[in-house]
Structure 1
Amino acid sequence: MGKKIVIAGGSGLVGQALQDYLRKEGHQVYVLSRKEKSDPNYYYWNPSLKKIDANAIEGTQVLINLSGQGIADSRWTEARKKELLSSRVVPTQFLFSVFQHSNTLEQYISASGINCYPLNNYDKVYKEEDAYGDDFLSHIVKEWEKSADLFQSICKVAKLRTSVVLTPTGGALATIAKPIKLYVGSPLGSGKQWMPWITITDLTRMFGHVIQQELSGTYNAIANANTNKDFTEKLAKVLHKPLVLPNVPGFVLKLVLGEMSTMVLEGIQASNEKVKAKGFTFKYKELPQALEHVLKGA
């Protein structure tokens, strides 16, 4: 039997795909929106003003929070860093304040980030119980997950540490593919840094699995990891485009992106054994197969 599920941050790439998937699975899915809409599938909310439609709370069994401004949308000034953190923590704290007296909420599921582990150990495959790193992204994830844990006093809490999500349109894959299509693509920096990834298909399935199995705990949402060089080469092959330019030097990316360059010059490997031990199976585990599926529907 389907559940009443409310999604905060449901208008992004992941949120839209997740809505579609969960409805097909038979759930009643509603989205929190900062804009007033006549659509009955949307509830108004504004965490900054501490306002929310009471119907969003009534009878809700699963609350999914995908809220948060895009990490790579603009350069990391000090003001931007504060925005990135508050856009995740403040909505979570507000949601807890309005749901803490709910007598129907069974599960709270939070998006999180795979970039929470130390960046200086190339050979280590990180597990969920490993310590956070000490860089900015690790700090964001730590505070993000800490706020999610507020819900542990009222329901089960699951946190999905999402890696690079491969989607047909938009997102990181479109950004990486664009210069390759224009014949100016090349690996970044040394090209040896890891790129952990998951297809949007498997990510939405993982959310569904967490709901179906009523799981709690932290899970690495990663199908596999390839080096930046390998990822770029395999993507170019799928796109039938040559790579003719040398690697983009790391110092150039640091000049252009500032501290945000760590996102493309550093990377990690992480284990997905924990979620597999809970019965989840990935449909797309190898990069060529995943790229063919995402880009061509194969």
Structure 2
Amino acid sequence: MRILVAGASGLIGTALSSTLRDSGHDVASLVRRPPASPAEFQWDPAAGRIDDTALKGADAVINLSGAGIGDRPWTRGRINELSASRLGPTRTLTTAMRRMDNPPPVFLSQSASGYYGNAGQAVLRENAPAGSGVLARICADWEAAAQEAPAGVRVVTARTGVVLSRSGGALGRLLPLLRLGVGGPLGNGRQYWPWITLPDVAGAFNFLLTAPLAGPVNVCAPESADVNSLISRLAESLHRPALMRVPAPVLRLVMGQLANELLLASQRMEPAALAGAGFQWQHPSLAQATAWVAARS
């Protein structure tokens, strides 16, 4: 398949592009700078501009664009940027598809577990309603923008959980602390984080290119875990203690609204659609995942 990737330089995009090429696919990417190779095409999603030749002959488009959720404090300007950096690229892609006589038949557009808001202990399958809050609103708008693709395009909105990697991503700041033995759970630790390893999220997107699925798909591991379990397992795999709990009031004082929605919210997500379609995880259990994360390259 010829696959066009937006957001190919990020954590997921880099791993996914490698996985796709290893699977024999022809991968092209969208870049904001001048193209450096025939496999790159320039676009300016903030202005709605794209080189339409990028989509010609593509069998699928994968949209991973979006500013980092936890990279900076959530000022009003930053929240607007988080939204615009997702809606702008998505609408640029769907508008370009609508200009084509034969648009790519598959559009995989990333969403996030934040769609569900703070859902407590409830098990969240794909038919669960949207939650409330900044992330839930952004994700709902993001998914609606993806559904603006032309009729006949199979649209999948991948609600990705916390991606566990050996460096960067959600654990980028936490892993070094755990390696030093000075990390610990966040808040009371009873909130659920839907997690998935980086190889499995890349594998899931590869699987979704041909799987008979459309609409929202929860992209997480089949084993659910609260933060207490996740942190203790990681620390155990690193042979370190994890005793320095950070209380919720401290997190709120330092991080404000971002703490409530990103660190303290609970989403007990279940990958019902992926499991039903026959996806096979490399790291289905938390024990396997944390052993992979802790392993040295």
Name the TM tier (shorter chain).
over 0.9
SS of aligned partner of 2:157: strand
Supply the AA of the counterpart residue of 1:243: A
CA distance in 1, matches of 2:120, 2:132: 16
Provide the residue aligned with 2:200 in structure 1: 202
CA distance in 2, matches of 1:131, 1:243: 35
Provide the residue aligned with 2:122 in structure 1: 124
CA distance in 1, matches of 2:282, 2:210: 18
List aligned pairs for 1:240-279, cutoff 5 A: 240-245=239-244, 247-262=245-260, 263-279=262-278
SS of aligned partner of 2:187: coil
Specify whether residues 74 and 201 from structure 1 end up closer, same or farther in structure 2 by C-alpha distance, changes over 3 A only.
same
The alignment's TM-score, normalised by the length of structure 1, stands at: 0.94
Supply the AA of the counterpart residue of 2:229: D
Provide the residue aligned with 2:106 in structure 1: 107
Specify whether residues 258 and 100 from structure 1 end up closer, same or farther in structure 2 by C-alpha distance, changes over 3 A only.
same
CA RMSD of aligned residues (A): 1.6
The percent identity for this pair of structures is 34
Provide the residue aligned with 2:22 in structure 1: 24
SS of aligned partner of 2:158: strand
CA distance in 2, matches of 1:297, 1:269: 29
User: Deviation of residue 158 (structure 1)?
Assistant: 0.7
Contact 1:234–1:287 at 8 Å: present in 2 too?
Answer: yes
CA distance in 2, matches of 1:83, 1:287: 33
Provide the residue aligned with 2:91 in structure 1: 93
Contact 2:46–2:85 at 8 Å: present in 1 too?
Answer: no
Q: Deviations over 1:255-296 (max 9, x none)?
A: 100000021112210111221111212221111211212331
CA distance in 2, matches of 1:213, 1:117: 24
Provide the residue aligned with 2:77 in structure 1: 79
User: Deviation of residue 198 (structure 1)?
Assistant: 0.4
Contact 1:100–1:154 at 8 Å: present in 2 too?
Answer: no
Provide the residue aligned with 2:216 in structure 1: 218
In the alignment of these two chains, the number of paired residues is: 294
Provide the residue aligned with 1:145 in structure 2: 143
CA distance in 2, matches of 1:142, 1:48: 20
The alignment's TM-score, normalised by the length of structure 2, stands at: 0.94
User: Deviation of residue 51 (structure 1)?
Assistant: 2.6
Provide the residue aligned with 2:279 in structure 1: 280
CA distance in 2, matches of 1:134, 1:206: 27
User: Deviation of residue 104 (structure 1)?
Assistant: 4.3
Supply the AA of the counterpart residue of 1:143: D
User: Deviation of residue 188 (structure 1)?
Assistant: 1.0
User: Deviation of residue 65 (structure 1)?
Assistant: 0.4
Q: Deviations over 1:239-264 (max 9, x none)?
A: 1112343x211111001000000211
Q: In structure 1, list runs of 5 or more residues that go unmatched.
A: none
User: Deviation of residue 125 (structure 1)?
Assistant: 0.3
CA distance in 1, matches of 2:29, 2:233: 36
List aligned pairs for 1:169-208, cutoff 5 A: 169-208=167-206
Provide the residue aligned with 1:50 in structure 2: 48
User: Deviation of residue 216 (structure 1)?
Assistant: 1.7
Contact 1:107–1:214 at 8 Å: present in 2 too?
Answer: no
Among 35, 38, 44, the alignment partner of 2:36 is: 38
Q: Deviations over 1:89-121 (max 9, x none)?
A: 0111111111213214111100110121141x4
User: Deviation of residue 195 (structure 1)?
Assistant: 1.4
Among 152, 156, 159, the alignment partner of 1:158 is: 156
Q: In structure 2, list runs of 5 or more residues that go unmatched.
A: none
User: Deviation of residue 19 (structure 1)?
Assistant: 0.5
CA distance in 2, matches of 1:155, 1:53: 20
